Chains A and B, each alone.
Chain A
Amino acid sequence: MRIQVERNPAPVWFRALIPLMSILLTFLLTSGFVLAYGANPLQAAYYFLMDPLSNPVRLIEVLVKTTPLLLTGIAVAFAFSGGYWNIGVEGQLYMGATAATAIGLQMHNTPAWLALPLVILGGILAGMAWATLPALMKVWLKIDEVVTTLLLNYVAIFFVSAILNGPWRDPISQWPQSPEIAASAVFPRLIPRSRLHLGFILALLVVLGVWFVLSRTSFGLKMKAVGFNIEAARFSGINVERTLLMVALISGGIAGLAGASEVAGIHFHLIDAISPGYGYTGIIIATLGALNPIGVSLAAVFIGLIDTGAQTVSRALGVPIYLGDVLQATLLLVTLGMLLLQSYRISLRRQVGAPAE
């Protein structure tokens, strides 16, 4: 009987099929909207999934879209792995973007080798700082972090809007956007004449780092223990409060980096639409990737693909761009359900194990 308890859950080939089945089911479920517009769902699927890959320029654009998603996705996945429900990635991203802009504006006489690390560090620290209050409230007062992180997202966005309409309002155009950051603070391009920038490399490094921490360090083991069962972790001598605090701050730091990367890599100034909800999309990506860094990377590319494709679908078929949002949300829910199939064997195992008692 013990041997059966040790057995792996679903076989690997089956687990690999789960995302594919989820994607298929999602496209089936949302095809009604495409039909309502008198368009062909298969054609929509082609525009969503294949068209962005059809030439190198568009492929690079998918990676540009993927960059912030990799960071927010891994920020969420890291927090969730440690049992900390950081839904505040959106706000932490905004604060990271704000700090990066503030530093970038002062870098006019600073060489790039100094300016770039300062901008990156500023973004990370600001994200961490914004994540601190909910984390402390969680650890000290036992207040659910879901609520506080969510509410602080709105505060962060109001804050950005306040400085863009106030001290940072562009003096020339009068638009609510900051002046441009110094050229030395702009992330270098990875490929000339494209928008792919240093942030993409940073995102990959962060994913690699998270993978290392989660699977190769004792801290990773501890945080996963806390995420799995907080009481059991406490009982086994883990400092649960300290672990949660660390997880929250690291997750916030990664979110802040996402903000810095969008400012220094894409926009070069702060705007109030610096993120079209990347923080919330991060939750979708983390779930699709089953909180696993490799899975999260694939999921981020996939969502980047859909984001790019949504514009093509909208242009070519006349279906509103919001179809992309519906598609992503449906995919999240479908995957959430389908992931149960992954542990199907576990429940079977229990039934086999029970009579042995």
Chain B
Amino acid sequence: MDSILSMTFLVGLIAATLRVATPLVYATLGEVFTERAGILNLGIEGIMFLGAFVGFAAAYKANEAGLAGYLWIGLFSAILAGIMMGLLMGFFSVTLGVNQHVAGLGITLLCTGLSLLGFRIVFGERSVLPSIDPFAELSPFKGVPVLGDIASQYLLTYIAFLIVVPLSWWLLFRTSFGLNVRSVGENPEAVDAAGLNVFRIRYLVLALGGGLMATGGAFLSLAQLGAFTPGIIAGRGWVCIALVIFARWHPVRAALGALLFGGVFALQLRLQTLGFKLPFEIFLALPYLVTIAALALASRHISYPGAYLKPYRRE
């Protein structure tokens, strides 16, 4: 009896870990790209929030209009919004070259305000939270013990781990585009001297990163919840910033970091229900504390990109 219990416990834990890690994979990879190009985008928390809102609002309206692919319309609207915010971050950090910390936090505050205001504009004041039918889980191994349950995941989770992670690795380390991105982050002067456009590369990467961050946020509203709530992101963006450092700007390690956080998060959710006599808030705080501890442990190996936080100006 005990072993059956612990087996179901473990299977449930692994499945939940993959689910919780999914939005973090998207957003962390987005941040890996921008930081590889030398830009710290602290707009990540807000862009995820905006992605969650725009994705939900667009899907809701499309559903109301009777469109069958309403969830995909939501997702693409979210990505578009993320790209726009990435470009706005580019205007401040690349064109104007202002302080990236403050610009990024400004983008986060703006996205948060816009989403909350937008929610009121679209939905007004309602006593019941508006909701939609979210993405369904795929079950390719239905009926197979253990694997069947673990593999029962959203399409976006499959895409994150099987396509986006390897693709990001390939893009960064096996293409000339990736080489350019990394060079811009290490030594923009040399890239400029080689006749490449530093500004354009940084803008491109910020747009790509913004799209990925918004996808992470939209996953939460379109797949996991089917709704939008003010606490939907709750610091996940900041966790991603930590994961990027923890992963030493490497896409595969970023995915592993996301799984680690996802595992701790899924575990604390289950521990809460096991009836420990501890306040549940202690469990909620656990993933954040583990993230900080992981940073401390990994700190010895961290070396930031050479042009990190440095705006580039042609003299």
Q: Which residues of A contact B (CB under 8 A)?
A: 33, 36, 85, 87, 133, 137, 141-144, 146-148, 150-155, 158-159, 161-162, 165-166, 280, 283-284, 287, 320, 322-323, 325-330, 332-333, 336-337, 339-340
Residues of B within 8 A of A141 (CB): 296, 299-300
Whole-angstrom CA separation of A284 from B239 in the bound complex: 22
Give 6 new A-B contacts, CB below 8 A, not counting A332-B105, A332-B110. Answer: A137-B296, A144-B245, A158-B281, A322-B117, A336-B92, A340-B98
Given contacts A143-B299, A336-B103, contact A162 B117 (CB under 8 A): no
Task: Tell me if A151 and B107 are in contact (CB < 8 A).
Answer: no
Bound CA span A328–B279, Å:
36
A322 contact set on B, CB distance < 8 A: 113, 116-117, 120
Per a CB cutoff under 8 Å, which of A147, A158, A165 touches B285? A158
**Number of B residues with CB within 8 Å of any CB on chain A:** 43
A325 to B118 Cα, complex, angstroms: 12
Name, among A85, A323, A326, the residue most crowded by chain B CB atoms within 10 Å (CB to CB): A326
Q: What's the minimum C-beta distance from B169 to chain A, rounded to whole angstroms? A: 23
**B191 interface hit (Cβ, 8 Å):** no
Contact B279 A162 (CB under 8 A): yes
Residue of A nearest to B111 (CB): A329
Q: Is the CB of A142 within 8 A of B302?
A: yes
- A162 and B121 contact, CB distance less than 8 A: no
A320-B121, A322-B113 known; A147+B106 contact, CB < 8 A: no
Could you tell me the distance in whole angstroms from the C-beta of B45 to the nearest C-beta in chain A?
Answer: 8
Is B109's beta carbon under 8 Å from chain A?
Answer: yes
- CA–CA, A183 and B125, complex, Å: 39
B295 at the interface (CB under 8 A from A): yes
Q: Are A328 and B109 touching (Cβ within 8 A)?
A: yes
Chain B residues with CB below 8 A from A333, complex form: 92, 103, 106-107, 110
Q: Is the CB of A329 within 8 A of B109?
A: yes
Q: Is the CB of B105 within 8 A of A283?
A: yes
Give the complex CA separation of A332 and B101 in angstroms.
12
B73 interface contact, C-beta 8 A: no
Q: List 6 A-B contacts (CB under 8 A).
A: A150-B238, A280-B109, A283-B105, A284-B106, A322-B117, A336-B106
Given contacts A137-B296, A148-B295, A337-B96, contact A154 B285 (CB under 8 A): yes
